Structure 1
Amino acid sequence: MPHLSQHSFSTTPQTVRAARDFAMEALDNWGGCRRSDDIRTCVSELAGNAVRHGSLHGHAYLVRLIRHPDCLHVEVHDSARHSRVRIPSASLSAEAGRGMRIVQELCDDWGVRVLTGEGKAVWTCFRRPEAHTSRCSCTP
């Protein structure tokens, strides 16, 4: 049976840290995870993107963690009407544009799902190395 933990945050830059702390607390409550550093980085990037690009003014974003026996899904829901998330090619001198590339490298899979009504969910999947099976469905 999966475990679920979720929390809504306002769209101010200060909430990115709170989102990261929330995710780490959920993992701790579930007994920890060997990939917590990767998960922390991805939550930070996805929450930052929701604040900067994905949430309409006045709308909150949601961070959701779903722990299955063999994997952990992390989702960040925002209110953006567009469902496209790009990984731009960043030059060596660029000051931005590397976040989703880092997410892609740290997680086992990721994608975007259009939500019913308004918005999208950017999701990541982390296979749990402590799980007793190598099977994991990374599609939420």
Structure 2
Amino acid sequence: MPLSRQRRFPRDDRSVAAARAFAAGALVEWGRTARLDDIRLCVSELATNAVLYGVPPGQEFCVRIVADGPLVRIEVRDGGSVQLEVPCSAVDADAEGGRGLLLATALGDDFGVTAHVTGKTVWLVFKADADA
């Protein structure tokens, strides 16, 4: 039976660290720490994008973590209308940003974006055996 947990966060810079801690706490509680560092980094990147680009003022974003067999899926849903642009190659070395989603898609084993009537869900899947 899959394990699942979700939590909403306000559009605030402090929410990125809170989302990362939330995800790590769930994975530690479930004994799913094999890819913990990768997952924490990716939650940070997706939450940062939600705060900077995806969440309209006064609204929240939602982080969902699902562990099912050897898979861990992270999802970040926001209500914004900004279309997600995934970089297809290396970012200019002088650029101050633009590497987060590229890094997240490189670390995850599967990636996608699900569009909703309002907003979108950005998700990543990580394959790992449950820790003993």
| Structure-1-length-normalised TM-score | 0.87
| Identity among equivalent pairs (%) | 38
Contact 2:23/2:43 (<8 A) preserved: yes
The amino acid of 1:20's aligned partner reads: R
Deviations 1:61-116 (A, max 9, x none): 0000011012011000001124433226521111111111100111101110012x
Contact 1:83/1:112 (<8 A) preserved: no
The SS at the match of 2:113 is strand
- Cα distance in 2 for partners of 1:85, 1:22 equals 26
Contact 1:83/1:113 (<8 A) preserved: no
The SS at the match of 1:77 is strand
Cα gap change, 1:94 to 1:82, in 2 (>3 Å): closer
Contact 1:46/1:122 (<8 A) preserved: yes
The amino acid of 1:37's aligned partner reads: D
Unmatched 5+ stretches in structure 1: 132-140
| 1:31 Cα deviation from its structure 2 partner | 1.1
The number of aligned residues is 130
Match of 1:101 in 2: 102
Unmatched 5+ stretches in structure 2: none
Deviations 1:7-59 (A, max 9, x none): 00000001100000000000011013210000000000000000000011111
